[in-house]
Structure 1
């Protein structure tokens, strides 16, 4: 994957369309790849000079003389360059060229930098935070319709009582932007995103695409979880009694809103698509 960072180049074959840029993580990586650390700006100067040489002579009686003179002018153009805009493509290309990016996620170790290519899904659960009461009430009414008339009221009362407890728990659960990318060989990677790193709002994407975003996408990030080898709980003897009681709850939250046990987990740094030249 290559894309030129020079804006004035006439040989650019492709450019990147960034959907997500984690600038903080990107800056930490950039500083380690550069001999000069994190460069926030640079200056490009071009100078041009013109010089004229003239000669002459004079004679007054027995006095003779020659003279030589020069006149000139110098002009210059100075460009202040904000490197933050080229940093994502610079880091991506540098990681690729130096062998830090693993495309085959099955071969990657935990903590490795990976580049995953495939179809993208996205869901902003923060949109649901204020909608849970209506969602639960709608679900109760739908299920009540399936009950016999004599059992309907008792079922509704019990379900509403239970929904109050559910709402009390749900409002404390993290409501994050999350999604997954699915490769051609059906490998799925789950992730969460920071809203302030989105270049296109999750609401705009939802209204435009729904849950699945059209196109071919790349996710560059850190592999920090692999599919669970088994679904066994942690050894409760190694933690305190209070934590032991919380473990089933955490497992339930993950099962409902978190990474599926058969998917990889990555922390995205860049999400992008490639824009190529139009076919003439």
Structure 2
């Protein structure tokens, strides 16, 4: 089993978003020193308590200040964007840091309704959200053309640049049987958000593994489980520190994003 880290770049009470991003970079370097396998950053919008709104930009910095650990998105919220543009962003990252880039994708809003509307401001129709599976298929085609993937039928002949002969690993993030089934059907890695869905993780992951269809993106199932973890020298200190996360989760479930309170 390999251990990795997903950092949401929380803004601590009394601190600033800039400091939160600096802490993310420090954590990435420490994770690499300790031998962690991956380091992912999240995408949240209009959230004062979380500084990471653009994972691609932050990933470029993190890859530059580390040397070997895999750097990824957990996740790029694909329904907000063009699959072609996401493919080009990650082809640039792959060209700069070959063999180290992960593209985790999800379909959550990542913010309130107003933020979602602003992110999709140039979209012609709201029905684009229902194109999620087609968007993933397009993304795979753009990123894996060198392995025989054809450009999407809607844009036959279109090629994502820069032309590199490797691609980031693709992971679909989810918290349900539906997302696991989609990941298995399309042949991508699957990351189950155990910190969001408290039950059923083992069954969902096993179903993904059992129904996985090999693709140009992955030859065999690649499951990943994401959990909240609080570490300290003693259990009592970990419980004390966890109180900050508990209160943040209560606020988050009430659709409020606040700076992380002190214990």
1 or 2, which has the higher strand percentage?
1
Between structures 1 and 2, the one with greater helix share: 2
**TM-score (norm. length: structure 1):** 0.20
Larger radius of gyration: 1
